[in-house]
Amino acid sequence: MKRLVSILKDRRTQYCIIFWILLLKAIDVVARLLSEVASLQFFAILGFESLSVGSRLVWDGLLIFAVFWLGYRVWNDVFGFG
């Protein structure tokens, strides 16, 4: 447990997780855009359109949290505040 906490405290791990969450959102956006084209509708399967209401809420919350988390990290690491 201690090891896990120390891994999560690591700056690089945090950037990794933030990048991953934003990448998932990017996959969703690209899949949705491509699926708008009639012959490329199959790309929708990669996106998250079929999420239930509860899952959608948690996912959107996580996404917003990741954006704020990124802001906090950049604020700390680039500007040296915090």
Partner 1 sequence: MAHGASPTQQKVYYVEGIGQPTYPYVSGLGYPSPWGLYLALAYKTYQLLPISSYFYYFLIKLLPIAGDLIATYIIYRLALEYTKNLKKAQTLSLVFFLCPFVIFISSVWGMFDSIPILFTLISILLLLYEKPYWSALSLGLGILFKIIPIIYLPVQLLFLRKKRGVRDAVLYLLIAMIVPFILALTPIIVYGWEISEATVTVFSQTQRRGGSLTYWNIAALLKNLFPNLFSVEILNSLFSFPPIRYLWILGLIAAYLLYEERHTKIHSDARVDNLRVLLEGFSFATIGFLLTRPFVPEQFVLYLLPFLIILPASKSLKKYYRLTWGFALVFALVNFYPFAFAYLIDIEFWNIFNYLIDTSPFSTIRNVIQFAVVIVFDWFLVKLLFKMRKKA
- Catalog residues that contact partner 1 under the rule CB under 8 A: 12-13, 16-17, 19-21, 23-24, 27-28, 39-43, 45-46, 48, 50-52, 54-55, 58-59, 62
Q: Which of 24, 4, 3 is nearest to 66 (CA)?
A: 24
Closest to partner 1 by CB, 54 vs 80, is: 54
Quick one: tokens of 77?
Answer: 């690491």
Closest to partner 1 by CB, 20 vs 75, is: 20
Closest to partner 1 by CB, 26 vs 74, is: 26
Quick one: tokens of 61?
Answer: 């919350």
Minimum gap (Å) between residue 78 Cβ and partner 1: 20
CB 11 within 8 A of CB 74: no
Minimum gap (Å) between residue 15 Cβ and partner 1: 10
Q: Which of 82, 27, 76 is nearest to 49 (CA)?
A: 27
